[in-house]
Amino acid sequence: MAKSPKNAVLDPAAVCRSSDPVAVRELLTKVGDKWTIFVMLSLDLLGGRARFSALERAIPGISQRMLSVTLKNLERDGLVVREVFAEVPPRVEYEITELGNSLLGPTQALVDWAKACWEQVREAQVNYDSRQNAA
């Protein structure tokens, strides 16, 4: 991998090949947040459509509030749709949209990379911490 010079100026527009690098950065921040990946992949594993409670059970450690906030953000961004059924009690289901489906491949690739490389990353962290503690 080629290294850039130490004093090189990073041009975000060139890096993301976009006329609006701020929008790209904002969207990457949103889809890369702590819970979005897990919600999207869990929805996919549940057949692309699921109730709130099924998602909550499928994602260990997520609070009801965080799941609700994440789903609202995904709905706002067009990655999921929310459907409310006129029943007592009301039933709400979330479904991945076509746009959301287009995110699943890259998301799964990132998860696969993390599964394959986490031990190497952990080893690098231990080595770094050892060097810092020795200094």
- Predicted pLDDT at 13: 55
Whether the model pTM is above 0.85: no
Two structure tokens written together for 18: 């976009």
Instruction: Give the pairing type, strands 80-85 and 49-51.
Output: unpaired
- Predicted pLDDT at 90: 86
For 55-69, how does the pLDDT look when each residue is reduced to its tens digit (9 = 90+)? Answer: 999 999 999 999 999
Residue 15 confidence class, pLDDT cut points 50, 70, 90: low
For the chain, domains (ranges, CATH) are 15-134 (1.10.10.10)
Residue 59 near residue 42 (C-beta atoms within 8 A): yes
- Which has the higher per-residue pLDDT, 6 or 101? 101
